[in-house]
Amino acid sequence: MAGWDAEVAVVGLGAWGASALWQLAARGIEAVGLDRHEPGHPFGSSHGGSRMFRVTCLEHPHLVPLARRSLELWHQLEQAHGQQLFVPAGGLLIGPEDGLIAGGTLRAARVHGIEVETLTPALLRERFPRQAALPADHIGVWEPSAGILRPEESVRAAVGLARAAGARVHTGTRVDAIELVPGGALVRTAQTELRVRQVVVAAGAWLGFLVPGLPVETYRMPITWFRPRAGHEDGFGLADLPVFMREIEGGRVLWGNGAENGHDVKLGLEEHGRVPTPLDPLTDDRAVRPEDWTELGSLLPEKLPGLADVPSKVAVCMYAKTPDGQFVIGRPGGDSRLVVAGGCNAHGFKHATGIGELLADLVQHKPAAIDAGFLSPDRF
């Protein structure tokens, strides 16, 4: 390839970019991956010890086929890596039968024929007694196919397999600009310049800086871990407190999973209907603030009694949000030199392997395994 450094560059090696690099390299495509940090780093959107996986995607009906394909590819990645990445512990979705969480899960299950079990309030209290103060009209939906993914190890696994298949990986490399030129793209870093036929930009929170004009905004999402109070240690493991999403008052969603793999009970609070806190990934301080956990902590004596109301650990995750809450994946304006992948909207990790395959298909101009037209960047 005279005059070109590679067929394709993947900018950003978080969950989506790492999966894309793995898929491209496995297909024999000359690829180079770039990231300003090391794989599995805690500075973006692909960390936190565990991430929820579920097939019943309540965010959009077309996401269910993507989740199913992603699960197949998670198993392939896990097998090739030789270590467990997916823990099939099941998942619990709680709320009104016609509400956002339980209701949305039931609708997805009915449309796509997904096996779920509906739990009456009494049965929900019996099987999951740690979930307290449940309103009388709230049900549980149990999805056996759900579980947790290990995010840091998954990213390292995909990058490692990409390297083994021939991909070049440049970490500690900040990409400052991407310029589209006749026949390809220039990827400018602080150290050098790469000339490639195509560039896949999967830069997460930094996507809007590298590809201006995309309607993605970056926000902060605190994640917290809590320990049981003395005398309440039993019942807070993953088997007793499986990964869950629970609709509570005020349009909020309490989510988390029990202690596992050396981590304490992981919890978070989504503020549906409220404006999230914006974050500039280039300049803002991501230090932990009291407001990152105090409201959540105040809910625990009632919602999950037995847990301390002060966390044992707090971290800040970033996520990119789009106006309609869906991902941005495709070629802006049909440009054959550029593929973008972003706007995870805090529900994108579970789909990482399927999105990696989709990105590799786009690079090769192959028909996608799933219908991804609803994710097109041109829809805005």
The domain that contains 180 carries what CATH number?
3.50.50.60
At 6 the pLDDT is: 98
What is the arithmetic mean of pLDDT over 29-42?
97
Together in a domain, 155 and 190: yes
Residue 141 has pLDDT above 70, yes or no: yes
Nearest Cα residue to 150 out of 246, 46, 289: 46
At 317 the pLDDT is: 92
- The whole domain housing 28 covers 6-51+151-215+324-379
Q: Which two tokens stand for residue 250?
A: 């005020």
The tens digit of pLDDT for each residue in 328-378 reads 999 999 999 999 999 999 999 999 999 999 999 999 999 988 889 999 999
Domain boundary among 321, 349, 366: 321
Average pLDDT score over the chain? 95
Number of domains into which the chain is organized: 2
Domain boundary among 321, 356, 371: 321
At 274 the pLDDT is: 63
User: How would residue 279 be classed by pLDDT, with cut points 50, 70 and 90?
Assistant: confident
Together in a domain, 171 and 284: no
Where b means 16+ CB within 10 Å and e means fewer, 128-141 reads: bebbeebeeebbbb
What is the arithmetic mean of pLDDT over 130-159?
97
- pTM comes to 0.97
Cα distances (angstroms) measured from residue 301 to each of 69, 260, 295, 310: 39, 21, 12, 11
Q: Which two tokens stand for residue 253?
A: 């969603």
Together in a domain, 303 and 348: no
Q: Domain of 225: which CATH number?
A: 3.30.9.10
At 305 the pLDDT is: 97
Together in a domain, 223 and 333: no
**Which residues have CB under 8 Å from 321's CB, separation 6+?**
216, 217, 218, 219, 276, 343, 345, 346
User: How would residue 231 be classed by pLDDT, with cut points 50, 70 and 90?
Assistant: very high
